[in-house]
Structure 1
Amino acid sequence: MPITLDLSGEEIANKSIGPGVRVVLRDPRDDEALAILTEVEDVYHPNKVKEAIEVFGADDPAHPAVAYLRNKVQDYYVGGKIQAIQPPTHFDYVALRYTPAELRAHFNKLAWRKVVAFQTRNPMHRAHRELTVRAARQRQANVLIHPVVGLTKPGDVDHYTRVRVYEAIMAKYPNGMGHLALLPLAMRMAGPREAVWHAIIRKNFGATHFIVGRDHAGPGKNSQGKDFYGPYDAQDLVTKYRDELQIDMVPFQMMTYLPSTDEYQPVDEVPKGVQTLDISGTELRRRLKTGAPIPDWFSYDAVVKTLRESYPPRLKQGFVIFLTGLHNSGKDTVAKALQVTLNQQGGRSVSLLLGDGVRPELDTRTCSRNPPPVSHLLIGSVMLASCTSSEERSKNLQRLAFVSAELARAGAAVVAAPVAPKAASRDAIKDTVLQTAGPGGNFFTIHVATPLAHCEATDRAGVYKKARSGELKGVAGVDEVYETPERADLTVDLTKQSVPEIVHSIVLLLETNALV
């Protein structure tokens, strides 16, 4: 599994990084030195396509690690030998964090000779408890619950909530059977290869056995709607390298509930014709977001209570209304009217993010060297086109996405109205909100599809006139293509509907989703 130090060309040039140079690696949270790259040996352009295929099995952006490789990883890799200085400082769950040596010593102190390790990135429920207890009893061993608290799959439950769940479920184990420790690991969702990596890590932490379930560390579906890896590919690969790994794999099928006997069994041991019940992760998240009941057979009261605390009722969840359209399409007017309407209804704070109001706060570089005439400042979303490059406009939309997600995560209603002419930028904003806003990850795209001819005919600011004369660049509809949203939640047109009618239709959309 590649562990890489990626840097931009600008960073390499500014810091004069090259062969023979020593580089201090610092924690971005507190600037503490963690390690030294004692001598740079290589600075090179990686072949990201080859890396994706070799590590993840496909160069498919539907795989979260491939998407990260394509969109986040910088253009250069820097290689060399590393000398450790100190581990990172953690301020959360300190008592649950161990180095490999510390955890091995803890097992020795408890006289645990056999330890079955269980890897997870999700909250645990009754089925997980039954699975791990069964695995331990079959091998006369103890259980290490070893969840990942670093980067996991986008959309996963945050680790603070998960650790409270793990603490609650540890009380359900037989006395002295289990121990909880946290693993600060960035998962790659690399399936079979990652399963081998996880086995090596657990061996280092003192485990003698490692549970590998169905589709271990799988990322879900690829771009063709098929699974990236086979359901038991991970088990097969760990078995193949068992002698080299020196840790025994515990293969397990999915556990399912049998209401007739009030017990859990592996699916391959259930007699034919016997009724079974299951709740998928997707269904659980739906029930948490909507407040639907979660049955006792699925989880414990303490676990459900903890999860409910992190998933407020729908009426308290944040959301983002994302209005996109041409300049002078009326999206700003609709946004302001919607803000007033939502404020009137009450129940949550409402934040309005318009181009001309937000941009100077998010990007201090905007027009700072060459301020435009006052008339340009009134143009709002076009001001950015006249002052910044396409790359800088894209970065500003990323900042808008970050702010929107943070506000929605805190329970606010966010009304944003950038032009955002590119489908890729709009998709990126939506993904950011869905993946990072937690229970506030409710996103609605409203396409304000007022025709260009009407936008131009009623343009009192003269933006289109200036764009056609060449005085302004980057104006959507003139010298930049506006890519029509293909999957908008609502499409409106100010030549056919009044502003109150449009606002009413948006409110109805929110009501349909139980958010107002």
Structure 2
Amino acid sequence: MSDVIPAGTAHGGQLLDLYAQGEALVAAKEQAKTNLSWDLSKRQMCDIELLLNGAFSPLNGFMNEADYNAVLDSMCLADGTLWPMPITLDVSASFAQQLSPGQTITLRDAEGVVIANMTVSDCWRPDKAREAQAVFGSEKDCHPGVHYLQAEAGEYYVGGSLVGVTPPLYYDFKQYRDSPRSLRKKFAEWGWSKAIALQTRNPMHRAHVIMTKRLMAENNANFVIHTAVGMTKPGDLDHYCRVRCYEKVLKRYPQGSAQLSLLPLGMRMAGPREALWQAIIRQNYGFTHFIVGHDHAGPGLNDEGCAFYEPEASQQLVQSYQAELGIKILSAPFLLYAQGREEFCEEGQLLPGEEGLYISGAELREILKRGDPVPDWFAFPEIVEELQHTMPPRAKQGFTVFFTGLSGSGKSTLANGLMVRLRERGGRHVTLLDGDVVRKNLSSELSFSKEHRELNIQRIGYVASEITKNGGVAICAPIAPYIAGRRSVRNLIEGVGTFIEIHVATPIEVCEGRDRKGLYAMARAGKVKGFTGIDDPYQEPENPEMRIDTSQYEMAEAIDIVVARLEEIGVI
């Protein structure tokens, strides 16, 4: 078996296992008690797990600056080893200032459990615009990877080697959570000599099953749904629903020919580079074949309505490295449904005048949110039932209405009026998170610095997401002056319900004329610093669900217009 399912890594070396054992583990735990500590983010938790279990072999820790620069420039580490994705530990400036080369720091999860110790090699401040262009081919904030890089990642990067202390603990789907070593062992136990991996972050439908069965037959291989269950694209279905769907779809394959395994991958949505990176990861897991799809790991459409990457760019890039990889790349055919023949075929196989039907993941989510029937030709009934259970129509989901605008624009009055109208209708619990009220009850210790204003918005977003997730309505009315902060809240909420951004676009002259609190007058007099619209910018929303200027309407009429827009969107 080892000549087919290799024992080494994607680059011919030994599969790494960076966890301490025996006396070394005892020493690492003792050392962690006195080390400077860093609490890992969700994406860092994904990365460190795959670093420690060998999935990111040959990396033995977070990249140093030399490897980082080489990856950006050439998709190789400094020693020339193929590796297309920077794997970095991003930290705050205040934490970075405490570090020095050779120092050992402890990395902990959100609950304070020691995950690993790290010996620092170097620390640097990256050029994030350069990284965005190199990795994502874009600096647009509407790309989720760029947004994370610019708005959420720390200001400095730390490189260094790792010693694992405690593996991350999971309570869900433990039977499917495999390390590279455990999955290779399963391949041997199942008697598999060839294994095809499918990377997916969406449910599988009829075309997926047909495509994978064809590839299994063509390559005389077995098949694994190797789904990403770490961080995926904001707004994606949660992995709990997806795994339940995969368990059902496996019954559509011959018994014993297909399996399910979970990959705790923090996706970057980096298109071609990510496809190559994922192929290397799958080789480390022992797969012999890897399916690369159309627009593989693409983030969807940009702010101009176009795809970030060409449809076959990922397939072309990964195929160009086939000679350097020890895993066979399979380009997934793009299948369309020929309704007259009641079968799936590739575009080039359509008959003259024949239309090929296709539904994208985004289109499917819209169908479900509208409560429309999903076509039988597209999806299996048991999968549709599962999706409808998890994603009911908008009118039955929780949602957040997020008013944003200058002080005095009318946000709070609109928000209060909308709250009353929705409570009159009944059917859902409605919570108002007004900016001033939140400041008093949730963020009283925060200043009005940019950092603290953004933190205040994230707190509002977190509370709103919990309300939305549990089927309620959250109405938020902060100033929220920065695009990045509002986008982070949107990303948080769209994974659990509907997010409706309303720009209260009342001109500043009107807002200043109202000045009920006297804040504009104090700002003009220099008594208040960093006041939005005077000496600190307000970044207008680019594509809100609605804009309204309250100077153009009586307030009761303005509230009617907002309610009508919510009815049009379908949330009420």
TM-score range (shorter-chain normalised) is: 0.7 to 0.9
Residues 240-259 of structure 1 deviation map (CA, whole Å, 9 limit, x = unaligned): 32233111111222112222
TM-score, length-scaled by structure 2: 0.79
- Contact kept in structure 2, 1:116 and 1:136, CA below 8 Å: yes
Amino acid at match of 1:506: V
Q: 1:33 aligns with which of 82, 90, 114?
A: 114
Percent identical across equivalent pairs?
42
Superposition pairs of residues 153-302 of structure 1, within 5 angstroms: 153-222=233-302, 226-302=306-382
Aligned CA distance change for structure 1 residues 458 and 282 (closer, same or farther; 3 Å) = closer
- Contact kept in structure 1, 2:394 and 2:498, CA below 8 Å: no
Deviation at 1:19, TM superposition (A): 0.8
Superposition pairs of residues 442-453 of structure 1, within 5 angstroms: 442-447=499-504, 449=506, 452-453=509-510
Shift >6 Å, 4+ stretches: none
Deviation at 1:496, TM superposition (A): 4.8
Aligned CA distance change for structure 1 residues 90 and 276 (closer, same or farther; 3 Å) = same
Residues 269-321 of structure 1 deviation map (CA, whole Å, 9 limit, x = unaligned): 33443342211222111101110110111111110111111112222222222
The match for 1:375 is none
Aligned CA distance change for structure 1 residues 361 and 11 (closer, same or farther; 3 Å) = farther
Aligned CA distance change for structure 1 residues 45 and 456 (closer, same or farther; 3 Å) = closer
Measure the CA separation in 2 of the matches of 1:459 and 1:45: 42
Superposition pairs of residues 449-468 of structure 1, within 5 angstroms: 449=506, 452-453=509-510, 455=511, 459=515, 461-468=517-524
The match for 2:485 is 428
Amino acid at match of 2:359: I
Amino acid at match of 1:18: S
Aligned CA distance change for structure 1 residues 238 and 469 (closer, same or farther; 3 Å) = closer
Classify the secondary structure of the residue corresponding to 2:436: helix
The match for 1:141 is 221
Amino acid at match of 1:118: L
Classify the secondary structure of the residue corresponding to 1:117: strand
Deviation at 1:23, TM superposition (A): 1.6
- Contact kept in structure 2, 1:169 and 1:303, CA below 8 Å: yes
Measure the CA separation in 2 of the matches of 1:430 and 1:244: 39
Aligned CA distance change for structure 1 residues 482 and 67 (closer, same or farther; 3 Å) = closer
Q: Is 1:469 matched with 2:514?
A: no
The match for 1:401 is 461
Amino acid at match of 1:406: E
The match for 2:104 is 22
Q: 1:77 aligns with which of 157, 167, 175?
A: 157
The number of residues matched between the two structures is 488
Measure the CA separation in 1 of the matches of 2:326 and 2:512: 71
Deviation at 1:226, TM superposition (A): 4.5
Q: 2:400 aligns with which of 308, 320, 324?
A: 320
Aligned CA distance change for structure 1 residues 58 and 329 (closer, same or farther; 3 Å) = closer
Q: 1:11 aligns with which of 95, 106, 122?
A: 95
Residues 331-381 of structure 1 deviation map (CA, whole Å, 9 limit, x = unaligned): 323322221221111010101111221113322413xxxxxxxxxxxxxxx
Residues 135-182 of structure 1 deviation map (CA, whole Å, 9 limit, x = unaligned): 101111111111111111222211111111111111111112101111
Classify the secondary structure of the residue corresponding to 2:228: coil
Deviation at 1:445, TM superposition (A): 0.2
- Contact kept in structure 2, 1:319 and 1:413, CA below 8 Å: yes
Residues 40-67 of structure 1 deviation map (CA, whole Å, 9 limit, x = unaligned): 1111122323323333334443432222
Measure the CA separation in 1 of the matches of 2:524 and 2:139: 41
Deviation at 1:330, TM superposition (A): 3.8
- Contact kept in structure 2, 1:435 and 1:441, CA below 8 Å: no
- Contact kept in structure 1, 2:462 and 2:492, CA below 8 Å: no
Classify the secondary structure of the residue corresponding to 2:309: coil
Aligned CA distance change for structure 1 residues 54 and 506 (closer, same or farther; 3 Å) = closer
Measure the CA separation in 1 of the matches of 2:539 and 2:160: 45
Residues 107-139 of structure 1 deviation map (CA, whole Å, 9 limit, x = unaligned): 111111111111111111111111111110111
**Which deviates further from its counterpart, 154-163 or 293-302?**
154-163
Measure the CA separation in 1 of the matches of 2:508 and 2:275: 53
Measure the CA separation in 1 of the matches of 2:494 and 2:541: 22
Aligned CA distance change for structure 1 residues 91 and 66 (closer, same or farther; 3 Å) = same
**Which deviates further from its counterpart, 158-167 or 428-437?**
428-437
Superposition pairs of residues 103-122 of structure 1, within 5 angstroms: 103-122=183-202
The match for 1:362 is 442
Measure the CA separation in 2 of the matches of 1:139 and 1:209: 9
**Which deviates further from its counterpart, 231-240 or 428-437?**
428-437
Q: Is 1:415 matched with 2:475?
A: yes
**Which deviates further from its counterpart, 402-411 or 504-513?**
402-411
Amino acid at match of 2:171: F
Measure the CA separation in 1 of the matches of 2:500 and 2:283: 42
Amino acid at match of 1:298: F
The match for 1:509 is 565
Classify the secondary structure of the residue corresponding to 2:263: coil
Aligned CA distance change for structure 1 residues 498 and 233 (closer, same or farther; 3 Å) = closer
The match for 1:383 is none
The match for 1:440 is 497
Classify the secondary structure of the residue corresponding to 1:101: helix
Measure the CA separation in 1 of the matches of 2:547 and 2:321: 55
- Contact kept in structure 2, 1:289 and 1:439, CA below 8 Å: no
**Which deviates further from its counterpart, 339-348 or 394-403?**
394-403
Aligned CA distance change for structure 1 residues 10 and 278 (closer, same or farther; 3 Å) = same
The match for 1:305 is 385
Measure the CA separation in 1 of the matches of 2:259 and 2:273: 26
Classify the secondary structure of the residue corresponding to 2:163: strand
Unaligned runs of 5+ in 1: 367-386
Measure the CA separation in 1 of the matches of 2:304 and 2:325: 34
Unaligned runs of 5+ in 2: 1-84
Amino acid at match of 2:339: P
Classify the secondary structure of the residue corresponding to 1:112: coil
Deviation at 1:482, TM superposition (A): 5.0
Classify the secondary structure of the residue corresponding to 1:403: helix
Amino acid at match of 1:170: L
Classify the secondary structure of the residue corresponding to 2:336: strand
Across the aligned residues of Structure 1 and Structure 2, the Cα RMSD in angstroms comes to 2.5
Deviation at 1:428, TM superposition (A): 3.5
Measure the CA separation in 2 of the matches of 1:475 and 1:334: 22
Measure the CA separation in 2 of the matches of 1:475 and 1:85: 47
- Contact kept in structure 2, 1:124 and 1:165, CA below 8 Å: yes
Deviation at 1:190, TM superposition (A): 2.2
Aligned CA distance change for structure 1 residues 473 and 86 (closer, same or farther; 3 Å) = closer
Measure the CA separation in 2 of the matches of 1:47 and 1:456: 39
- Contact kept in structure 2, 1:430 and 1:443, CA below 8 Å: no
Amino acid at match of 2:452: E
TM-score, length-scaled by structure 1: 0.87
The match for 2:86 is 2
Residues 375-408 of structure 1 deviation map (CA, whole Å, 9 limit, x = unaligned): xxxxxxxxxxxx5323322321232223223322
